[in-house]
Structure 1
């Protein structure tokens, strides 16, 4: 218990004094990072646990997991080296580390293709009908009540036509990923000098299960804003065609 508390304290101090960075990566990606060879460095993966960090023998002088699933590591080398990172969900990536005398690195990595857990699958399967799944999920999304097993996703992509892009300013807000469902909120601002009649078909594309506007509006005034909620059916990350 005392060891866990000590590691947590080290991780907290490292995160507070380090250079905080956050990146979104695809599985198998490689990222360059300036690490410290005079201070501890901190690495975490959102909604996941790091199981393994591998580097050439002797490169890492210290490596300690935290109770939250992050890693605090140190190095004294002054030569670039590569670390291979593997998580509990199977997400893997590599870090091309460039050491130097600087503040420790605090790096948070988001998996662009993050998947929900078995609990998310249970939630999706226990809904009696297609419409029940959509209405329940959208209702929870709007009130920020994330179902068990769902995770936040950095994949806020919503494919739209050039005509839609010319009519609205689109700002991605947030997204959840379940087992086979992704739900995204995008804020829209009208760029037109005329009233625009809102239509769900503006946001339909392969893989889309449902589209809803919040608040519910039929027409958007010039310069006015509205949110569009888009629900996608997914399989293993990419949206289904």
Structure 2
């Protein structure tokens, strides 16, 4: 009955064969077939969220808007809801717009992101591009400031994307150039099943040109941090 509510608002018969089959299909999609006759008080928070998603889908929308859909859920239930949204996006070919303050949600399911602050768009692009290699404004916005780095030598930041995240860049760099360096800071994160991130190393100033040439040759994006 809860899932059928939008049908009633639009003057459709929720008990018609077509609508009953649609509701049963949605119950199966969100994994609540066995709860079809349960009252709201008998459902957990995650199950109630699944009902809300099914209710939003019952009129066959082209776009599903999820406004802080996981903000009140524990980590495991959050992962389950995100996996459900990915399933809906893939199987039903529905565009999903996610409004959230949780950066992990963006990284796990979104293939495009817009950062908004004070009614202004800071940046738009792929999450892996904006999180792995953010500009200073985005760094400050997401609270991802660089920690204190060595004051001697040169600090180099390497960016690992889909194309090179599984390569042996660091070990090959040391062996090929026969140099030593310190690893100062690193971060790898899961972006829709792909591990990507960045690494900051400190090298001797005399090795900067050789290291830069090597990284360019290997098509590794990098920058010197001043």
Fold match, TM over 0.5?
A: no
- Report the structure, 1 or 2, having the larger strand content: 1
Question: Which is richer in helix?
Answer: 2
State TM-score, norm by structure 2. Answer: 0.27
Kindly indicate whether structure 1 or structure 2 has the higher relative contact order, using CA contacts under 8 Å at least 6 residues apart.
Answer: 1
TM-score of the aligned structures, taking structure 1 as reference length: 0.26
